[in-house]
Structure 1
Amino acid sequence: MFVLLEKAVLGMALLRILSGCIEMFAAFLMIKFNDVEKALIVNSSLAIIGPLVLLFTTAIGLLGYADQLSLKKFTLVILGIGFIFYGLSG
């Protein structure tokens, strides 16, 4: 059976796979370096990647879903994402 995936779903999934590969690579680097200071540097670098992946996957999802979403709900989703980033920055 052949299943067609929506472009937005495929894009979101590929970004999450990429993010997971980066996380695994970072874990291997931590093990390879075997140093707490270097592990903290690697871990701090991941703190930048996580929110970016969240932002990009959400943007792809919203673009794929925008024609079915009312302006009010779209605004609430954007506001919710803004609250997430505000909470992470504080």
Structure 2
Amino acid sequence: MLQVVDKIVLGMAGVRFLSATIEFSAALLMVWFGRVETAFKINALLAIVGPTVLLTVTSLGLIGLAGKSSPLGMLIIVCGVVLIFVGINKL
């Protein structure tokens, strides 16, 4: 059995497991309904899940790194996260 000591890592993994469960359930619903219109609606709802999970896991990671990284290192990490969202919004 896996032993996870760090609660931040456990939280990050838990959010990702929840996300995977939601995605898998949505895929099963798409197959269950078998209609393109319904599958499209389900897919649209999933558009909310992705960014929310990214923000949550990133926030947990930043909290976990806060005491372990220098202020300059934290600034660089935060700038990287901001650039990810700028890049996503420019598409």
* TM-score, shorter chain, exceeding 0.5: yes
Partner of 1:33: 33
* 4+ residue runs over 6 A deviation: none
* Unpaired segments ≥5 residues, structure 1: none
Deviation at 1:18, TM superposition (A): 0.2
Partner of 2:82: 82
Q: What whole-Å deviation, never above 9, does each CA across 1:31-73 have from its counterpart, x for those lacking one?
A: 1111111111111111111111111111111111211111111
Query: How many aligned residue pairs are there?
Result: 90
* Unpaired segments ≥5 residues, structure 2: none
Amino acid at match of 2:59: A
Amino acid at match of 2:55: L
TM-score w.r.t. the length of structure 1 is: 0.89
RMSD: 1.7
Partner of 1:58: 58
Identity of matched residues, %: 43
SS for the counterpart of 2:63 is helix
**Structure possessing the higher relative contact order (Cα contacts under 8 Å, 6 or more residues apart):** 1
